[in-house]
Structure 1
């Protein structure tokens, strides 16, 4: 893409909800004293710092393809992790990795199954790979986005946009990593979102980014306004907030 589509402020709007799966994933990684830990697709870096706190004696690297995200990570002022701009599809470590974590990144990589196998090869003996991906591509939030893209108003600009279901099931990943000791599971969170357009705000930080990146600013505003109405109908607000079910798939594998 011609520009960095990721906006750290938008992404961080629901930082607590987005970070919870990271900690639940990390809790199943039993590495005692790793020397080298990598956060692949580290985003704004706050969770990379948690890796450094978990293993203070380790060298910790975080990388992301977004210069905006890495700039935000470096601005945290924590000297422990090293943050670099790198593409997850082409990154190669210069030495074996003891713990490799990837939090909500691989859904953006169509060939990520091949990538996962390469990452296992990059692990040290007994090393750990841990990743989680959203598994909500059949949810109303994604269905209405696809419907709006294919509508008469937007089909000429966005009619070709359909990512389908870019991730596998927990069993798919257990099969893929059958040469490792695998712990794979899924969880559906029910996030209680607040605000006037809470589900739109959520998807604006993730699923909607590639779409908005293809539109002029005035078009993006019109698309978002139309989508807000559809999402409000799909996810009715209650007195206590807007319930937003969100399925995620977790995989922890030890080489």
Structure 2
């Protein structure tokens, strides 16, 4: 899959909603005194600071492949936290006690093989935890793919979007870690976000799922695509005076390598 251009400002508009899965994921890691911690696909690293505060004696590194995101790293991160530019495929798990990846692996087609490699390299007692969106069958994504593959848009954006095959369910991820000698904790959660404003679901996906489409279209074509897409979204996610309900399923897997 081609690299995606990220806009930190757009992505950050729903910072509270996007931070909750990170907290739910990392709260299940029971490591006591890790020496080295990695946060893969950390974006700007605004959440990586949570790991630095939790384990103040650890060296915590957050990595991301987006220069735009890394450039927005907070200046008030704990002193034991470093945010650096790195492709997730280049990460070497050797010597790490905790590896975290939140809402990043779905962008990496070979992430299952990467997990296998990391799990094999990690030492007994080490922890790995990741979360990926599990909503690729939801209207927000199904309608996007449907429009992208229509006769109007197929030649311009056909094939750039991910489908449900891009991620696994909790059982498959759990089985993958078990095969490498891990005790596992895997689950899924559907968050019901209450979004406000005009076309709020469009505003949400502009920061994530819609990025591959916007990357390959001109400004004029992007506007036209969004107009068609937003009309479909308004029907699928009707707004009310109290806001727009936006269900979002996420898949979690946490494991500790057996001693």
TM-score range, shorter chain: over 0.9
Superposition map of 1:54-203 within 5 A: 54-73=54-73, 75-76=75-76, 78-93=78-93, 95-165=94-164, 166-178=166-178, 179-203=181-205
Structure 1 position 90, deviation (Å): 2.0
Structure 2 runs not aligned, ≥5 long = none
CA distance in 2, matches of 1:53, 1:90: 26
**Contact 2:36 2:60 survives alignment (8 Å):** yes
User: Is 2:39 aligned against 1:39?
Assistant: yes
Structure 1 runs not aligned, ≥5 long = none
**Contact 1:97 1:122 survives alignment (8 Å):** no
**Contact 1:4 1:68 survives alignment (8 Å):** no
**Corresponding residue of 2:243:** 241
CA distance in 1, matches of 2:221, 2:118: 40
Relative distance call for 1:3 and 1:135 in structure 2 (3 A) is closer
Structure 1 position 174, deviation (Å): 1.0
How many pairs were matched up?
Answer: 254
Relative distance call for 1:184 and 1:2 in structure 2 (3 A) is closer
Q: Which moved more, 1:100-109 or 1:73-82?
A: 73-82
| Backbone CA RMSD of aligned residues | 1.6
TM-score after normalising by structure 2: 0.94
CA distance in 1, matches of 2:211, 2:33: 38
Relative distance call for 1:3 and 1:131 in structure 2 (3 A) is closer
Relative distance call for 1:249 and 1:155 in structure 2 (3 A) is same
After superposition, what is the alpha-carbon deviation per residue over 1:97-145, rounded to whole angstroms, capped at 9, x for unaligned?
0010000011011111111111213323200000000000100001110
CA distance in 1, matches of 2:232, 2:163: 19
After superposition, what is the alpha-carbon deviation per residue over 1:18-65, rounded to whole angstroms, capped at 9, x for unaligned?
010000011110000100000001101111111101101100001100
CA distance in 1, matches of 2:129, 2:182: 12
**Contact 1:52 1:60 survives alignment (8 Å):** yes
TM-score after normalising by structure 1: 0.95
**Contact 2:41 2:102 survives alignment (8 Å):** yes
